[in-house]
Structure 1
Amino acid sequence: MLDQAPETEVSDAEAHIEELGRRARAASRVLAAASTEQKNEALKSAARALRAASEKIVAANEEDVAGVLAAGKSGAFVDRLKLDEARVEGVAAALDQIADLPDPVGRVLAKFERPNGLLIERVATPLGVIGMIYESRPNVGADAGALCVKSGNAVILRGGSESRRSTEVIVNALRAGLAEAGLPEDCIQAVGTTDRAAVAALLRATEFIDLVIPRGGRGLVSLVRDQARVPTLLHLDGNCHTYIHADADLQEAAEIVTNAKLRRTGICGATESLVVDRAVVSKFVPLLLDTIGQCEVRGDEEARAADDRIVPATEEDWNTEYLDSILSVKTVEGPDEAIAWVQKHSSGHTDAVLTEDAGVAERFLNAIDSAVVMHNASTQFSDGGEFGMGAEIGIATGKVHARGPVGLEQLTTFKYRVHGDGQTRP
């Protein structure tokens, strides 16, 4: 098995993408017909190859991290990029978990017989070829590659330049797994140029690409949304809210909010905005500040009156995805105002309500039109792995095809199979 060529500058980005697309389309046809056992073996083999290459991956990642530190990137950015042996093992374990999940391809979604005797089945099928564009998280390439293989889709990966060394080693391990299982290595390919024109070419490659999924900051996602000619699955921001209702268990709420904000500040499911009932703001805010530790809290006048450790919030804070140890606090008068506030400022990703009142929880869960809504739980559970999907290729906040964590089932479409015994239409 030959490693995929290391990243080089390609003079003609459009020709490069066309070549990748042509090879991916051919590979996708083979993969679509592959058995579940063959796909699982490819993933298990890739997991073994990742573990064997762990030291090499970490060494390559250290070079990537050194580059972004020299460029003055934020701590949250570095955390998203960084891989150590434990994280590499987590990536490999995710591949094993995906291999153990049911095959989504070939599921009979519906089956019915018409009065004329025709038997009609709606059956899950692969999408075809997926373009995955992502920024600083090299593990995304492994998750995307594994999910695409299991769901019968070829994938073209375009990782950020800041993670190019880590991505190269990871992709080669994935391709080694495919080869060992007798599947085309071109089921997983990486764009071999840092030329930004390659992204534009990928977004226009309607002949070869069936779906593009961006995973990164607002700039990347906006670019994909505005320039893509191929279908897309995306979300812009993760401005996630947690609402503290007057009947919340305040100690539990403080612990949940601390986890929702600080467990990993750089992920899109982190709580950025806190909404607190006026009836408990004077009790809850000091309790939260004592619990949350090293986090800058910006609040409105009432929140600041409850604790002088809070700094003033501006109008910009209510719509900001910080991806950092910063939290905004807004005081409201009960569920109606809280729901209205969240509806106005949420990005539609994930929002939570903390309350012991089942009726209030039901109102919030029904009224908030976000991809994921939660009751008495940290918003950081908004994740495909936590939903039992093994891993996710991203979070979708649109309302067409897929919404929320995008796992195996969401990477399939369907076709109708019609069985007859000689019927003709009158």
Structure 2
Amino acid sequence: MTDHIQAMTAMGERARAAFAVMSCASDAQKSAALSAAATALRDGQSDILAANFRDMDQGRDKGLSEAMLDRLMIDEQRLDAIASAVEQVAQLADPVGQIIDRSNQANGLVMERIRVPLGVIGIIYESRPNVTADAAALGLRSGNAVILRGGSEAVESNRAIHAAMTAGIISAGLPEDALQMIQTTDREAVGAMLKAAGLIDIIIPRGGKSLVARVQDEARVPVLAHLDGICHTYIGRSADQDKAIAIAVNAKMRRTGVCGAMETLLIDQDYPAPGPLLRALLEAGCEVRGDDAIMELDPRTVSAEAEDWDTEYLAPIVAARMVGGVEDALAHIADHGSHHTDVVVTEDEAVANQFIQRADSAIVMWNASSQFADGGEFGLGAEIGISTGRLHARGPVALEGLTTYKWVVRGTGQIRP
């Protein structure tokens, strides 16, 4: 571990020096650097695809599932999409320097809150090599320095993408050390990264539950993350039947593997059409694990166990139960939710407002699918992830979420009496 700590210290010191440059870089410089990085990704296509071929070959030897191999795979079309995503970030409005608010005091002082970068961001992620480019682009566009640590399955792909991105950054005159990658796949390197207080300002994990749990458990650096996406949809008694069916089926089945997918369906006991709702889910290919009241409605449902209410399936499975009104639904969400995204479907505005006010979630929706829990859908552009914590950023974290602010006070010689 000592060697890893020494290596991490050296990287952190270089990153802090690079951050001093990045924090003052102009909008045009950062945009040009990312545009050059996108060009370098396209120009480096043969090297990147060859590296990915090696990762895929090793992944098959290790017995990775088809789903994991699909996440890992890069072809010409996917590489072009990665480069295009970097170009899109280059065109986003620069949050750095934005004046959040300004006030004029009676004594003549002018006080402003101004957006500034967070500093050195450490990003730990698994499997998907596109995260190397996405995370780098978002971190650099917001004026930060970035230290990346990708998963061992994608080590060759990550290195090739990082090399191309770095070449683009250097060509635009920004420091190479603004984007660094931990090259070793040794898990102890992650431990050194998590303990790099004073060098790394914030850690962002992107990956499975075990990775995020380890980061949150071991980190001595602030963490921006969500552990589970146990998202609920509550069908109120006054819900429109067509809306309820469309929203529930979309929330579960559009993409079952995303963190905004519905995992628990709560149906008001006075909702008049629970049978067609369950039938629509079952006929869409979803397994429904329900309580006794749910199971009486359709013989194709199966009994829910206690752990089902606390499970993020990321699969075509949903837990379902009948609840005695909005208060009962809110109590269930408070006991079993993960503060990610929760939905109320109702035509009663008073019920909707009660749910919106009381649900302690990063994202609360009324009459909409939880699958909209995505930075792009919020108009934020690319996102680094969804935060379910209470401090700093919450919900989809995009460029603005990778900044903080400082107070600037402008005077004309005032002294405090």
TM-score, length-normalised on structure 2? 0.93
Deviates more, 1:77-86 or 1:104-113: 77-86
Deviations for 1:50-94, whole angstroms, at most 9, x for unmatched residues?
Answer: 233445544543543454455444555444434444433333222
Report how far residue 102 of structure 1 moved.
Answer: 1.3
> Does residue 320 of the first structure (1) align with residue 314 of the second (2)?
no
Change (3 A) 1:32 1:248: same
Matched with 2:138 is 147
Aligned residues: 415
Give the aligned partner of residue 283 of structure 1. Answer: 276
Distance change in 2, residues 1:25/1:275 (3 Å): same
Q: Is the 8 Å Cα contact of residues 196 and 221 (structure 2) preserved in structure 1?
A: yes
How far residue 331 of structure 1 moved from its aligned partner, in angstroms, is 1.8
CA offsets 1:183-205 (integer angstroms, 9 cap, x no match) = 11221111111111111111111
- 1:3 aligns with none
Question: Aligned residue for 2:263?
Answer: 272
- Listed one character per residue, the Cα deviations across residues 306-334 of structure 1 (whole Å, up to 9, x for unaligned) are 22222221110110011222221122233
Cα deviation digits, residues 281-310 of structure 1 (max 9, x gap): 2232112212x22x3322222222222222
How far does the alpha carbon of each residue in 1:222-266 deviate from its partner, in whole angstroms, 9 at most, with x for none?
Answer: 211121111111211111111222333334433333332233322
In structure 2, how many angstroms separate the alpha carbons of the residues matched to 1:405 and 1:317? Answer: 26
Counterpart secondary structure, 1:306: coil
Query: Which stretch shifts more, 118-127 or 10-19?
Result: 10-19
Deviations, residues 344-373 of structure 1 (Å, cap 9, x unaligned): 211001111223333322222221110011
Aligned pair 1:137/2:128, yes or no? Answer: yes
Larger CA deviation: 180-189 vs 83-92: 83-92
Deviates more, 1:243-252 or 1:197-206: 243-252
101, 110, 115: which is aligned to 1:119? 110
TM-superposed CA distance for 1:24, in Å, is 0.9
Q: State the distance in 1 between where 2:310 and 2:128 align.
A: 24
Partner of 2:172: 181
Instruction: Please tell me the residue identity of whatever aligns with 1:281.
Output: P
SS in 2 for 1:223: helix
Query: CA distance change for structure 1 residues 73 and 422 in 2, over 3 Å: closer, same or farther?
Result: same
What are the residue-to-residue correspondences of 1:18-417 with 2, within 5 Å? Answer: 18-54=9-45, 56-74=47-65, 76-278=67-269, 279=271, 280-290=273-283, 292-293=284-285, 295-417=286-408
TM-score when normalising by structure 1: 0.91
**Take 1:80 and 1:330, find their aligned partners in 2: how far apart are those partners?**
33
Contact 1:80 1:266 (C-alpha < 8 Å) held by counterparts: no
Amino acid at match of 1:388: G
* CA-based RMSD: 2.1
How far apart, in 1, do the equivalents of 2:314 and 2:14 lie? 37
**How far off its partner does 1:335 sit?**
2.1
Cα distance change on mapping 1:238 and 1:246 into 2, 3 Å = same
- Equivalent position SS for 1:197: helix
8 Å contact 2:249–2:280 — kept in the other structure?
A: no
Per the alignment, do residues 50 and 260 of structure 1 end up closer, same or farther by CA in structure 2, a change over 3 Å counting?
Answer: farther
Preserved CA contact (<8 Å) 2:238 2:346? yes
Does structure 2 conserve the Cα–Cα contact (< 8 Å) formed by 1:76 and 1:323? Answer: no
Which secondary structure does the structure 1 equivalent of 2:296 belong to? helix
Hey, what's the Cα distance between the residues in 2 that align with 1:418 and 1:135? Answer: 43
Partner residue in 2 for 1:7: none
Equivalent position SS for 1:157:
strand
SS at match of 1:198: helix
Contact 2:102/2:110 (CA < 8 Å) preserved in 1? Answer: yes
Q: CA deviation at 1:409?
A: 1.0
SS state at 1:421 partner: coil
After TM superposition, give the deviation of residue 29 of structure 1 in Å.
0.9
Percent of aligned pairs sharing the same letter? 53
Task: Flag structure 2 segments of 5+ consecutive residues without an equivalent.
Answer: none
* Secondary structure class of the residue paired with 2:158: helix
Aligned-pair distance for 1:424?
3.0
How far off is 1:166 after superposition?
2.1
Aligned CA distance change for structure 1 residues 69 and 355 (closer, same or farther; 3 Å): farther
Q: Shift of residue 115 of structure 1?
A: 2.9
Unaligned 5+ residue runs, structure 1? 1-9
The CA distance in 2 between the partners of 1:336 and 1:32, in whole Å, is: 47
Q: Report the alpha carbon displacement of residue 267 of structure 1 after superposing the two structures with TM.
A: 2.0
In structure 1, the residue corresponding to 2:347 is in which secondary structure?
Answer: coil
Matching residue's letter, 1:355 = T
Contact 1:154 1:186 in 2 (8 A): yes
In 2, Cα distance between equivalents of 1:45 and 1:319: 45
Whether the aligned pair in 2 keeps the contact of 1:273 and 1:329 (CA below 8 Å) is yes
CA contact (8 A) 1:175 1:185 kept: yes
